[in-house]
Amino acid sequence: MSTKATRRERRVEKQEKFRHVLVNAAILTTCNEKGRVVVTYENAQFVVGWGTLSLINAGLAQAKGRSGLLWWLISLLLGPVATFLIVILPRVEQEF
């Protein structure tokens, strides 16, 4: 009976590790004192806010005649600094 219990425990442990990897890839995580990955509400809010800001920056960049995709990628890396740059850089005049 102990063999079944240990198999079950190992299987559950593997499933937990797999879930942690998926969560780790999806949003920022932190580790607790036992070294296990813990998803916190604050981290999830941070990722959602950062992603929203990057989309807003892409729209601002397009409104100024710049590449929305390029500024979206820059915004993922720089966040509020990219917003500041988009705001202070002059509008690009496009010739047709």
pLDDT, tens digit, 9 for 90 and up, residues 21-39: 545 444 445 555 676 666 6
Q: Which of 20-34, 66-80, 81-95 has the lowest mean pLDDT?
A: 20-34
Query: For the whole model, what pTM was predicted?
Result: 0.57
* Separation of alpha carbons 20 and 90, rounded Å: 44
Does residue 2 share a domain with residue 33? yes
In a domain, 96, yes or no: no
The range of the structural domain enclosing residue 80 comes to 41-91
* Separation of alpha carbons 70 and 67, rounded Å: 5
In a domain, 24, yes or no: yes
Top pLDDT among 34 and 87 is at 87
DSSP assignments along 28-89, one per residue: --EE-TTS-EE--HHHHHHHHHHHHHHHHHHHHHHHTTS-HHHHHHHHHHHTHHHHHHHHHS
Does residue 81 share a domain with residue 46? yes
Record the tokens describing residue 80, joined without a space.
């509020």
